[in-house]
Each structure stands twice: as C-alpha cells, then as structure tokens.
Amino acid sequence: MTDALPDPLSFTARALAARGALVETHGAEAVALLPPALGKALHAPEELLVATHPREGAAAVACGIGSPLLERLSAEARRSTPWALVAPAADAPKVSHATALAGRLVVRNGLAEVVDAAVGTAVYARVTMAWSVEADDRYEGLFAVELGPDRGEPAGLGSLLDVTAREDDAPPARADAAALAAVLAPLAGRAQRALAAASRDALESIERRHARDHQRMTEYFAGLAAEVGAGRRKVDPAVAATRRAALVAERDARLRDLVVRYTPKVTAAPAAMVFATLPVVRVRLRVRRRKLDRELRVVLPATAQALDLLACDGCDEGTARPALCDDRLHLVCERCAPQAQGRFACVACARPRR
Ligand SMILES: [Zn+2]
Ligand SMILES: [Zn+2]
C-alpha cells in the first residue's frame, strides 16, 4: 500500500468529486465546480482550476505536495477511517488438506490429535495503520496488521486481503458488527509490535543525533572549563570555581534542552480497514499436557497453504509452535516461553483474571 500512492492531481480530483464537486481533468490540470459549502470549507472559489505545479502567472491553484489545498484535503480524508467488507472469490480449502496440516501442528510440550473438521466462513481483517514519529524531525509511514478469526493471524493469505494490490474488485459482503469487532480484538497488541518495527529506524536516527549533540555540547563546555584560569593572568581560585560552576549549570541546562528536543512523540492510528469473509475449514483438536486436556481450533482459510497462527494467551502474538502451561493449558508463544521443557512461568496465568 505504501508504494501505490496516487499522484496529487488525481487525488485532488477524486477527493473533490467525493465531496460533491463536478470535476474534469485535462492533462496536467483539472477544473472543478464546488458546492458552495465545500468552497467555503476549502477557502476556494466555487469554480476552481487546479494543477500540481501551476505555471507562473497562471490562474490555477496549486495542489502539489505541501500545497494548502492538498494539505486540507488529506487532513479531511484522515479524519475518518474508511473501511470495506468484501468477499473475494475463492474456493473453500479441502478438508483433507486442513486436517493433514492440523495433524502436523507442533505443540511443544504436549500432544495434539484431530477430532473433526468442518467447512464454514470466517471474517479476516487487514488494518492499515498510519504512524508518525516527531522529535527534531518528523517521520511518517504506513504499516498493515492482519487478523483472523479466534484471535488468530493469517500466515498464508499473501496479498488476498490487500485490496490495493488487486486488479479485480471483490464484491461487497455482509457480516454483523460483533463478528467485525471480534476479529479486531488482538489489534492493539499486534499493532504495537508492528509499530515498533516500522518506527525503529526513525527512533534510532533521533537517538544518534541526540548522542552526537550531547557529546558536542559536553566537549564544548569541557573546553570552556579548561580555559578558566589557564591564561597568563592569575585568577583568584574562588572566582575560577564560581565561573566553572556557572559553566556546569549552563551545560546542564543545555543538555536538558536537548532531551526535550530529541524526545520522540510516537503516534499510530488506523487509516483504513478491509474486512473479508472467506471460506475456511475449521479443525478441532484435542491437546493434552500431563493430566489435563482441552479443545483447540485451528483454521485454514481459502487459498492459504498454512494454518492461521494461533494467538498467544500471554502476548496476543501469533504462533505456529505453542507450548501449554501446566495449570490452565494456556497457549504460549516462543517469545513468552522460549523453553517449554518442565514447568515454565506462564505469562497468561500471572495476569490478573479478567
Ligand atoms: Zn506470547
Ligand atoms: Zn497459564
């Protein structure tokens, strides 16, 4: 989704049309007749000629990157989160395929056996998040998080949920609000980790500049302190000490300013959501650990070659190789329980019960 940005002129034309304007594009320019309210909101005349980079002396209003018109339209577009519910055309997976994959599921410290399998449908979601990091500089971008039924995470859907990567238009579908909300349950946890990955470079470069400026500042003041009393004229030791103390205070104040300047403000919010209803095969398994056992459901969606990852009960991250905790058979991922041998401290058990 990041590389398929529309050019500013066609974005402007579509954004104006979506708000009721009549728009006609001619090459590098577009003429728009705006409804009076829209003209007022955009501080623009009702008959508006726009161009990405108008020639000098031309009557057109600029809509290129950084222009007030484009800024207003994109701010407006960001105020709401567009979403779509689609049903991509895809055949249901084979039950035998799903059962075979489920039979190979690795439970690191327990046994799993297939009980039965059934064909059905499930809602999947792809949430595109817009993130920004602001400190002395501003960074921004998009990342996407994909979510499956039962808090799972699709592992083999490729670009099926990415409607911007598809040529064909999937037909709209229906699903009840509860199903849509349920699929978004693990969003916060997964988005937070994806955000950390997406913003890592920005945060590192802010930290590097902070470290560099901190060092320069420290060296500069160390130089000034070394000069106190170093000249030919003799300086009273008490006066020299006062001057040095003043330098230290000044340096510390400047270093505190740097901390403020380089403290990043990180934000992320959903920019667009696609929900897709897909044919799936759900396989029920019985898993055992010592004397306890529980039921587990795994899901294979249409077109996928791998089962959805299971949600870790400790951190909500998807895992293909869960371990089971001793007391309540929570599913725990490799990060939460790197060693599954013997009794491990379960993150999910340690949390206060909801
Ligand atoms: Zn985990
Ligand atoms: Zn547990």
- When pLDDT is averaged across residues 341-350 and rounded to a whole number, the result is 91
Whether 180 and 277 share a structural domain: yes
Q: What is the pLDDT of residue 175?
A: 78
pLDDT (mean) for 130-151:
94
CA of 347 to the centre of ligand 1 (A): 8
315 CA to middle of ligand 2, Å?
Answer: 12
CA of 225 to the centre of ligand 1 (A): 52
Residue 243 lies in a domain: no
What is the dihedral sign for C-alpha 63, 68, 69, 75?
positive
Ligand lying nearest the CA atom of residue 151:
1
Residue pair 35/21 in contact (Cβ under 8 Å)? The answer is: yes
- Please identify which residue in the block is written with the tokens 């108008």: 54
- Residue 105: pLDDT band with limits 50, 70, 90: very high
Residues 71 and 172 in one domain: no
Q: Per the domain annotation, does 247 fall within a domain? A: no
| Number of compact structural domains in the chain | 2
Domain-ending residue, one of 41, 56, 80: 80
**Do 91 and 69 share a domain, yes or no?**
no
Beta bridge partners of 166: none
Domain match, 47 and 172 both: no
Q: What is the pLDDT of residue 354?
A: 57
Report pLDDT for 167: 67
Question: Which one is predicted more confidently, 95 or 233?
Answer: 95
Together in a domain, 57 and 138: no
The rounded distance, in Å, linking the Cα atoms of 107 and 324 is 7
Q: Are residues 101 and 186 in the same domain?
A: yes
- Asked if residue 285 and residue 155 are part of one domain, the reply reads yes
Going by C-alpha positions, the residue among 153, 143, 178 that lies closest to residue 301 is 153
Ligand nearest to the CA of 312: 1
**312 CA distance to ligand 2 centroid (A)?**
10
- Asked if residue 13 belongs to a domain, the reply is yes
Closest ligand (CA of 348): 2
Cβ burial of 332 (10 Å; 0-12, 13-18, 19+) is: buried
Residue 143's contacts (CB-CB under 8 Å, 6 or more residues apart) are 128, 129, 131, 194, 195, 197, 198
* CB 63 within 8 Å of CB 8: yes
pLDDT of residue 4: 58
Q: Tell me what the mean pLDDT of segment 251-277 comes to.
A: 95
pLDDT in tens, 2-49: 445 678 898 899 999 988 999 999 888 899 999 999 888 888 888 989
Q: Does 50 share its domain with 189? A: no
Mean pLDDT confidence for 291-313: 95
CA of 106 to the centre of ligand 1 (A): 16
> Ligand 2 centroid to 196 CA: how many Å?
26
258 domain residue, yes or no: no
Q: Round to whole Å and give the CA distance between 88 and 302.
A: 10
In a domain, 16, yes or no: yes
Whether 12 and 130 share a structural domain: no
Instruction: Among the bound ligands, name the one nearest to the CA of residue 334.
Output: 1
189 and 305 in a common domain: yes
Does 35 share its domain with 148? no
| 17 and 131 part of one domain | no
Q: What are phi and psi of 124, to 5 degrees?
A: -115, 155
Residue 93 placed within a domain: yes
- The Å distance, Cα 318 to ligand 1 centre, comes to 8
What spacing in Å lies between the alpha carbon of 247 and ligand 1's midpoint? Answer: 50
How close is the Cα of 299 to the center of ligand 1, in Å? 19
Give the C-alpha separation, 318 to 155, whole Å: 9
336 part of a folded domain: yes
Closest by CA position to 152, among listed 333, 309, 303, 41: 309
Q: How far is the CA of 322 from the centre of ligand 2 (A)?
A: 12
| DSSP-assigned letter for residue 164 | G
The range of the structural domain enclosing residue 156 comes to 85-194+268-350
Task: List, for residues 145-189, the tens digit of each pLDDT value.
Answer: 999 999 999 998 888 888 777 666 777 777 788 888 889 988 988
Indicate the angle between helix axes 237-261 and 187-227, nearest 10 degrees.
Answer: 160
Q: Which of 80, 102, 137 corresponds to the end of one domain? A: 80
What is the C-alpha to C-alpha distance for residues 296 and 284, in angstroms, rounded to an integer? Answer: 6
Condensed to tens digits (0 to 9), the pLDDT of residues 38-90 reads 888 888 888 989 998 888 877 888 888 888 888 888 888 778 888 889 888 88
For residues 94-120, average pLDDT = 96
Residues 53/64, Cβ–Cβ less than 8 Å: yes
Rounded to whole angstroms, the Cα distance separating 338 from 255 reads: 41
Which tokens is 162 given?
Answer: 């990415």
Q: Point out which residues pair with 128 in neighbouring strands.
A: 144, 272
Question: Among 80, 111, 133, where does a domain finish?
Answer: 80
Q: How far is the CA of 193 from the centre of ligand 1 (A)?
A: 12
Distance CA 138, CA 263 (A): 12
* pLDDT at site 61: 87
For position 1, what pLDDT does the model report? 40
